[in-house]
Structure formats: structure tokens, C-alpha cells
């Protein structure tokens, strides 16, 4: 018998140390965990200090009446208690589905709702050195980078048939015109704003963007790890071991895509470089209902930047999805673009 076989392997030790780092440090990043607030609060509290546009955006964000059946809002799929990521609710007996059912109560998207915290620091999609052949694809909103701004991203769910499921822009605005805050919308944008649905929809998107940019709910930097970086808190021995593995280029090397250090400009880490990776995450058959269809990610995002590429260049981007921020990761219940894994242990095991 090999005497080494009865001891935990180095790989297993690395795995559990990284899980410890993720749970003990990153679960609190930006809110939550020991010594930090959860980052969630009531709408009334969040409205304090917001501009009129952002305060209006908050009401839109929380309003389920803007969906097909009046039962789904932006907040339904970006839940504060989950770090503004998907809720992972149970649909039917013993069936944990990582994507929120659409307004029709039946339709399921193929991707889980990503966290929208700290997205205000993101930039539009680009190839970092300006060259599609050699540059690193970076930035953009959604898992595939198809939206350039928070405002553009905010428009998508209203018209997505598997989400809020409105037939068209005019339908969204007709619902908005009867909302409890409709007069506030008119006071801000003009009494005749609802007569022009396209213009009104642009204002909806800009208001949502303002809310996400201004509200401390989405960028609190209030975790224990942030306090550690400020010299105001200490990490435990296990947390320090996990952090060392997280940063080590010869061990976890997580920081290669999820930077953990203060930037040269003094900015606190976002735990993402907003780049894209093809990790080969297995299919999640709870949401992938058609075996003949494949989620190609970045290469099929439909943007001008991607469509302009040659077929060969596009092929090199297939299967790539956005590197998410690990802030608040311990609050989430499903991971990767398709929610294939439901525990951080499984995530780290997959990487190992």
C-alpha cells in the first residue's frame, strides 16, 4: 500500500484552502459576512442622496408591473440577498433551477442572472490592444458582452420573451404610464413623454443606469477584506493561507483573472478583469432543453465588433463567457453562466 494514499493530496489541500478563501473572504466583498453589512437595504434608505433620475430608476428597478403579467421586476432576478444575482428558487418538487422563470411563469432562460454589483466600473466591449487577432476581448455587459452600457443592458429584460416578456417598447411604456410614479416621470422628462414610446424607453434605460451608478447598494466596498486592505481588520490564519493560494501563480492563480490587490491608482479590487474565458463548463440540463442547440457565448453576441470578424477569428471566441466579479460570490447559489454548479466547493473542484 502506498503510505501517501492515506493522506490528503496536495490537490485536495489546495482545493479546500481555496474554498476557505472564497467563503471567508469573498462572501463579504462589498457587503455581507463577518464584520460587514449585507449591502442590501430598503428602497427608502437607498433613495437618500440619489439624483432625481437615479431615484426614478430605483422605482423602475423594483416595479413588477412593467412585465407581461405584472409579476416580475429587475429586482426579481437581481436579488440583493444574493449579491444582486439570481435567486435560485425552487420550481416544482426537488427541482432547483438556476434561472428565474419568466413573467409567464413557465419560460426559463439558458443563463443565470449575473450579479450587477460593481458593473458601473465596467467599460464597453473592446479588444484591449485594438486588434481582434491579438487583443484580449474585454468589457461589455451580459455574459457575452453584447450590451455596451448599463443603459443598453437595462433595456434587454423588458422585451426578452423569457424574462419580462413585453411584446414591444410601446407595451412597456403603456404600463409605465399607469405606474404610481408616472407623474414623476413626466415631471422629469416632460408632460408629453409617453406620447413618444421610443424616447420614453431611452429615459427608462438611463434612469436604471443612473440608479446602478449612484446607489451605494451596488458598490459599497464594505467587506472585511476591504477593511483588511485599509489596515482596519486582520484575516485569520486560514484566510491568509487561502489568500496566498488565491494569489499564487504556481498554485491557485485565481488572481490572474480575479485581481485581489489595490490598483496603482489606489482603487480597490473588483475581483474581475472583465475579460472572457472558455472554461469548458459542462452543460446544465436543467436549463439546456434542446440538445441540438449550443450557447456559443462571445462569438455569437451579434455586435458589430464580433460580426466584422472572419469566421476563423470568431471561432476562436466561441465558448468564451465574461469573467464575473467574485465580490459577494459567497452569497450566490449558482455559478458560471449556466448555473451548472451550486456550491463553491464544486466550483473550485472543477477548476482543480
Summarize pLDDT for 64-113 with one digit per residue, the tens: 999 999 999 999 999 999 999 998 775 554 467 778 789 998 888 889 99
Dump pLDDT digits (tens) for 119-175.
999 999 999 877 777 789 999 999 999 999 999 999 999 999 999 999 999 999 999
Q: What sign results for the dihedral spanned by CA atoms 110, 113, 118, 123?
A: positive
Task: Give the closest residue to 137 by CA, choosing from 340, 259, 350, 314.
Answer: 314
CATH number of 5-351: 1.10.760.10
| Apex 308 CA angle, 305 and 314, nearest 5 | 85
> Of the ranges 38-52, 152-166, 264-278, which one carries the lowest mean pLDDT score?
38-52
Cell of 320: 468564451
- Give the contacts of 342 (CB within 8 A, at least 6 positions apart): 88, 96, 98, 333, 334, 335
Report CA dihedral (68, 61, 138, 246) to the nearest 10 degrees.
Answer: -120
Decide which of 27 and 314 is more confident. Answer: 314
Dump pLDDT digits (tens) for 220-258.
999 999 999 999 999 999 999 999 999 999 999 999 999
The DSSP-derived string for 199-243 is HHHHHHHHHHHHHHHH-GGG----SHHHHHHTTS----HHHHHHH
Percent of the residues in the chain that have a pLDDT greater than 70, as a whole number = 84
Check residue 22 and give its pLDDT.
56
> What's the whole-number average pLDDT of the chain?
87
Mean pLDDT, to the nearest integer, of 284-288?
A: 87
Alpha helices in the chain (DSSP H): 10-24, 43-47, 52-61, 74-77, 150-159, 169-176, 182-189, 197-214, 224-229, 237-247, 304-307, 311-315, 344-351
Percent of the residues in the chain that have a pLDDT greater than 90, as a whole number = 75
Which residue(s) pair with 297 in the sheet?
Answer: 320
Tell me the three state secondary structure of residue 332.
Answer: coil
Q: Does 210 have pLDDT greater than 50?
A: yes
Amino acid at each position: 500500500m502506498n503510505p501517501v494514499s492515506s493522506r490528503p493530496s496536495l490537490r485536495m489541500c489546495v482545493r479546500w484552502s481555496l474554498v476557505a478563501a472564497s467563503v471567508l473572504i469573498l462572501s463579504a466583498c462589498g457587503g455581507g459576512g463577518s464584520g460587514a453589512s449585507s449591502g442590501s437595504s430598503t428602497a427608502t434608505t437607498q433613495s437618500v442622496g440619489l439624483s432625481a433620475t437615479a431615484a426614478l430608476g430605483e422605482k423602475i428597478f423594483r416595479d413588477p408591473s412593467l412585465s407581461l403579467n405584472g409579476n416580475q421586476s429587475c429586482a426579481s432576478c437581481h436579488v440583493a440577498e444574493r449579491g444582486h444575482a439570481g435567486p435560485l428558487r425552487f420550481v416544482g418538487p426537488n427541482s432547483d433551477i438556476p434561472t428565474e422563470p419568466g413573467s409567464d411563469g413557465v419560460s426559463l432562460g439558458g443563463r443565470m442572472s449575473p450579479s450587477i454589483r460593481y458593473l458601473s466600473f465596467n467599460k464597453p466591449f473592446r479588444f484591449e490592444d485594438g486588434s481582434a487577432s491579438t487583443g484580449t476581448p474585454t468589457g461589455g455587459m451580459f455574459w457575452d458582452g453584447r450590451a455596451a452600457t448599463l443603459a443598453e443592458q437595462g433595456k434587454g429584460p423588458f422585451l426578452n420573451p423569457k424574462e419580462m416578456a413585453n411584446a414591444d417598447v410601446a407595451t412597456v411604456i403603456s404600463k409605465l404610464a399607469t405606474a404610481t410614479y408616472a407623474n414623476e416621470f413626466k415631471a422629469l422628462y416632460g408632460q408629453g413623454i409617453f406620447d413618444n414610446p421610443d424616447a420614453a424607453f431611452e429615459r427608462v434605460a438611463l434612469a436604471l443606469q443612473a440608479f446602478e451608478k449612484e446607489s451605494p447598494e451596488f458598490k459599497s466596498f464594505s467587506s472585511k477584506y476591504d477593511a483588511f486592505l485599509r489596515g482596519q481588520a486582520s484575516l485569520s490564519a486560514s484566510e491568509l493561507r487561502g489568500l496566498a493560494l488565491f494569489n499564487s501563480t504556481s498554485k491557485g492563480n485565481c488572481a490572474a483573472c480575479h485581481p485581489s490587490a489595490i490598483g496603482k491608482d489606489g482603487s480597490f479590487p473588483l475581483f474581475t478583469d472583465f475579460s472572457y474565458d472558455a472554461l469548458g463548463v459542462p452543460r446544465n440540463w436543467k436549463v439546456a432543453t434542446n440538445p441540438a442547440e449550443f450557447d456559443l457565448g462571445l462569438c455569437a453576441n451579434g455586435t458589430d465588433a464580433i460580426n466584422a470578424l472572419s469566421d476563423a477569428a470568431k471561432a476562436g471566441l466561441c465558448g468564451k463567457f465574461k469573467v464575473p466579479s467574485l465580490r459577494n460570490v459567497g452569497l450566490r447559489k449558482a455559478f458560471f453562466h449556466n448555473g451548472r454548479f451550486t456550491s463553491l466547493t464544486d466550483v473550485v473542484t472543477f477548476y482543480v
